[in-house]
Amino acid sequence: MREQEWLRWQCRRGMLELDVILMPFLEQQWSRLLPGQQEAFVRLLEQSDLQLFRWLMRGEVPEQPEFRALIEVIRDSHQTRTAS
């Protein structure tokens, strides 16, 4: 449970655009991620707000394969959630 609280805190970013993507993703998808994806998500949250914004909002592609795949999962989840 402590890890979940820490993750919620880490998902609260300095940009509202990131908050509305990362918080729902954590709440709705975390338990569905494979352990390797969960580890990548924790490392992803260590990135700067600006970098996350570029990846999630501007469509830039991370160099790291595990980030690249996870960014796609996060984007797909957000698009599915906002389309309904």
What are the chain's domains?
Answer: 2-83 (1.10.150.250)
- Round to whole Å and give the CA distance between 39 and 60: 21
pTM here is 0.89
User: E-strand spans in the chain?
Assistant: none
Higher pLDDT among residues 67 and 1, named by residue: 67
The answer to whether 49 and 14 are in contact (CB under 8 A) is: yes
pLDDT exceeds cutoff 90 at 2: no
The pLDDT tens digits for 3-55 are: 788 899 999 988 999 999 999 999 999 999 999 999 999 999 999 999 999 99
Read off the pLDDT band of 62 (50, 70, 90): very high
Tell which residue, 29, 64, 67, has the closest CA to residue 45: 67
